[in-house]
Structure 1
Amino acid sequence: MQSRKERHQHEIKNAELNDGKNYKNKRPNKNKWVRKKRNLLLVLLLIIVIIGGAVFGGKMLLPDKNAALDPSDTRFRSVTISSGSTPQQMGQQLEKAKIIKDADYFYKYVSKHGAQNLQAGDYVLSPSQTIPLIVSQLSEGPTAEPKLSKGYILVRVGDSNDTIINKINKQTDISSEKLKAAFDKKSVIKQMSKQYPELLKGIDGTTGDEKLLNYVFPAAYNLNKDKTADEVVNTMLSGTDKLMQPYYSVMKKDGLKAPGIIAILAVSGKAEFEHRRAFIKKIAPYAEQLQKKYGILASISIAQAAHESNWDDSDLSSKYNNFYGVKSEDKDNSVVLSTKEYVDGKETTQKARFAVYDSWKDSMLQHTQLLLKGTDWNADQYKDVIKAKNYKQAAQALYDNHYATDINYTKLLTDLIETWNLQRYDK
């Protein structure tokens, strides 16, 4: 039997053991607190992400008020900013011309960045330009080079191939050597001809004169996505192809090549292209009749009429039916007008008396008679023109036989004939 003392000691031990267990059960759980703290941090982080996303998403959803109307529309349009226009009116003119998104955006921008610097005048602008770029251009004045964003280039009328290559090089960092090689490479020409057969009809890459750069429309091009020279070639020809789509049916019907038509459209526009084509269609049948009867090449008759009359836009042509600038001493059937002549290769303006005709057909007939019968002082003056077997020989003979004093006359005629495929009327 246990004594009281022993029992007492045993109870004390049991009590101590029980107290230890109870203490352990009541002690804070460290892992649970860590989990709570971690969960709290995750919630805070999630809140921050949601708020940040909302702000960023809001910026993405809200439009950039100063962004370009259409970054992909790189066509340039003529826009006249009227003299005396306020910044608000300028913005309205630009919005109406579909160059910018909103006139109010334009006004708010210029109000902060110098509205007093804006100048009136005739500008060439594009929907691919941002408002800051447009404002910069308007501040420099009508003669300023169009402003473009990084990665864009502007091919202008009259730019040489080397100038275009240098512009591309500056915006893409692709070497000039690689660019030149790509535009002239036979394999690239072959591939591009498959992709754009109507644009590149007639080019085979075997002659030095047929360069792909000659088929590039003077316009702006976005080269930001292009990493290689071949991609640049494709981008520029793709843009040209889109611009030329409305003219392919006419080119096919008349046998025209793209470079000449591109030059006319870029310089003079669609209306002038249609005007010139209509002029050719009007006089070509009669030129063919004169060729059959008298032997003067129809292409020469048409080309001279177009060149001498400025496509029937000169006063002498439109008012007096004189296509060829034929002079006359008959005071009853003539008119005195200013004319440009070349003396020792230099252009001068003089007064002269020109023949007046009842109809344009009379003018063409008289021109044919002049070539056949010569002048009063030399009946055989144009004998080489009459003997010519093709338009190139005839054009050279006109200068050699002193029909014209302009040293560039032969090239002007041959270029005009080839651009409009006028030789087709010589058959």
Structure 2
Amino acid sequence: MGKNGKNAESNDEKQDKTETHLKLVEREKEKKMVKKIVWSIVTILVTLLVIFGITSYQYVTSSLQPLDETSNEEIQIEVPSGSSSADISRILEKNKVIKSASVFRFYIKLNNETNFQAGYYLFSPSMTLEEIIQSLQEGGSPVAFDGTKILVQEGLTIEQVAESVEKSTNYKASDFIEKATDKKFLLKLKTTYPELLTSAIESKETKYVLEGYLFPATYDFSDDFSLETVIENMVKKTDEVMQKYYSTIEEKKMTVQQVITLASLIEREGNSYEDRTKIASVFYNRLEAEMPLQSDISVLYALNKHKEIVTYKDLETDSPYNLYQNKGYGPGPFNNPSEDAIKSTLNPEDTNYIYFLADTTTGKVYFSRTYAEHQELVEQYITP
């Protein structure tokens, strides 16, 4: 009996151990399964967070850019008295001037932009957030725009401005040019805006004294207006913008004509503010080294035509405006630049760059310190 009892107990113990082992194995399986589920959930959550982060970044980045850079549409909006920045943001988004009200509002807070004013405004989807904010701070019209509107886009020459006037009014482009070159009228403008126009009128060999001084903006006039009023308003706008820069120009021992001239080249040579400050640096470095500025924009202006490719023969064009053949600034501006280009001109990046070129397919600008580096970039991005 005792021996059989021991055997029975031994079998029971074995059975218990087996059951315990099976339970442990089962628990381990469950733990592994739970871990797999947890890791799967964590992986999915991390992936979703990454996707959300990338999507959010792309959305915010695109919202900081103009809604439509190619748009020529003008949209009239009203900012009621007492509107908050949130109200203004919603109005701009609703009228399709900006992409996102929330991003615009965040941008305003981040840069501590205030003093927005009530009134009627003409905005375009091609405007940058900085341009929209500046307009809101300068103030709108107390009444809705219902007269004649004339649009002067950034980088237009005076002859192209004249064409814009002809399209929007009953005046001919030739009438505009005739008034813009009238000596008595120019002296009158100089008397009214001496800081702005003295160096322009004193410059030699200029094709048009007012080239560069017809500020890019949308102008609204009543039905009864003269060409003299149109031109004076454009010059007045330029003077208003330049007021904040006159002291800096004096400190740099430059003339307004020189600043506007460089700005007109920079307007057409670069698109972003960052590129423009570097291009300004290249021009200043070349001037200091007594090298020609060698801008294709100057050659095209001398030729008075638009071309995609400037030839070696074009570079030999006999004109004081050809800055391949002539050192220095030339007679004067080559178009009517934006404030962004003017600001870039007065705030150049500190570099040793002497050359730059733009990849016409991507718009990216490449800079170099030596001619050898420049040639490598030409072969890489320009030479077919």
Structure 1-normalised TM-score?
0.36
Q: Greater RCO between the two (CA within 8 Å, min separation 6)?
A: 2
- Higher radius of gyration, 1 or 2: 1
- TM-score normalized by the length of structure 2: 0.40
